[in-house]
Chains A and B, each alone.
Chain A
């Protein structure tokens, strides 16, 4: 298997990480060597194996549907890179 530059560009778009040509080539090389190594898993037959989604073999605990934290607005907004009154500010989305 080989991951080409077109695929790298596609993944970078999905990841919301911009890549230029040089970075894309480096990433293609790295990812190909990592996936060569990952391909080892194909040696195993796993048709009848249940996937393991969590090692914690417990059922989720239920709790009553009550508000426990109140008035967190200032805390939530405190680390924002750009805010105006109680809103996060982002570049214009709607023309």
Chain B
């Protein structure tokens, strides 16, 4: 079968279960395509030989009752993988080989999947274009020199280019949904507490969530079902009844109330995004949903709030990188000098910038004015959603204020880069689930996404709405394999 890499995850699982394909055949196909796609720079670390060996072993004694039987998968390089280098896209972790496995990846291997390698990302997941990675830019398979979004840019590029049937990313302010939108793929950020943070390189602990990135909603639901578990090793993991998301998936969303928040109509939003949103509303109506105008009055304050809370938590989390226990070390004249040189040489510019912002807002004399203030506004933002959900079951917005931009276009202006996340950040601040689905193209033929935001723990509902809308939208990605010689 020459078209193995064109198959969706669900098709591959079906074909392996019915023995039409072996794990070795599937793994070989994705490894070969990954090897031909080096120009995308989607991988930081390849583990192809081990993957092929594991596939062979799987085929010798296949357990076909598993949910991901012998499925090869590359994952974002923010998840610790035992005995395989985990860098978080940073020089400071360039040589770090974890001695333990993240819970989310362990859940995936427990269901029979096979690790193919680690995917590029912005350094410590801080970025919206994958341009802050120590390991270089990632190309968007949609067009040459186009960013794949970020921070899960290697993940979005790899899924869109079919180098891996599916993958996982992490989302602190939009890092799954924005790259999904930029590459014409599906990305789900689950409710805070749904997926364990154990073994994920920490960025902002009150916001970070892992989630699936896929070619379609059904695949996304299947992976969410696998990765979402209660975990004692993460004190913020929540013990709630989890659905079998893929089995319970339905296109019947008749009578569901979907809110349209007027505050998401931001100044200077391109007409193409406005039109896409209108089209989305029509699709939702066609599916039988009821559309209700709502207000989320503090939307405009979400991004400034995020740029206090996230850097504050980051500055605290990243204090552990001191060149002593693990990671890169620069030699210094004394201990303090060693710390300062290690961190100055080991972290890239964006990470240093955010550590500085975070340190400043937490420093003596500024804590109340910035950090406490931001926590209060965060409460107002969450209250907005709580009020809205008294009237609606879900909320529909664009995923991003623009389509993918060119590499280098926004690197000199941090604030314009931050504005990418204007529609996704409020969801993290409120701890809610959100999914981005591809919904159309702009004038250049680049994909655009719509975001569906749900109530806490209501992943099933937004997956169902996405599933129903996906059928109506009938999106097709225009990828011509330009990078394959």
Contacts and interface: CB of A to CB of B under 8 A. Distances in A.
Given A58-B238, A63-B232, A37 B304 contact: yes
A37 B415 contact: yes
Interface residues of B, number: 71
B442 interface: no
Given A44-B377, A51-B372, A34 B335 contact: no
B375 interface: yes
A22 interface: no
Interface string A26-61: 010011011001111111101001111111101011
A78 B98 CA distance: 9
B353 A46 contact: no
A2 interface: no
Contact of A55 (B206, B303, B324, B413): B206
A5 to B, nearest CB: 13
Interface in A4-40: 7-8, 10-12, 14-19, 27, 30-31, 33-34, 37-40
B359 A11 contact: yes
Interface stretch (B25-33, B50-58, B261-269, B341-349): B341-349
B376 A51 contact: yes
Interface residues of A, number: 51
B96 interface: yes
Contacts of B303: 37
B326 A53 contact: no
Q: Which of A10, A43, A88, A90 has the most C-beta atoms of chain B within 10 angstroms of its own C-beta? A: A90
Given A53-B375, A81-B323, A40 B380 contact: no
Interface of A: 3, 7-8, 10-12, 14-19, 27, 30-31, 33-34, 37-44, 46, 49-56, 58, 60-61, 63, 72, 75-76, 78-82, 88, 90-93
9 contacts: A11-B363, A16-B319, A34-B353, A50-B379, A51-B375, A52-B375, A63-B232, A82-B329, A90-B338
Given A39-B304, A88-B324, 8 more contacts: A16-B343, A17-B343, A18-B340, A18-B341, A52-B382, A55-B206, A80-B325, A81-B328
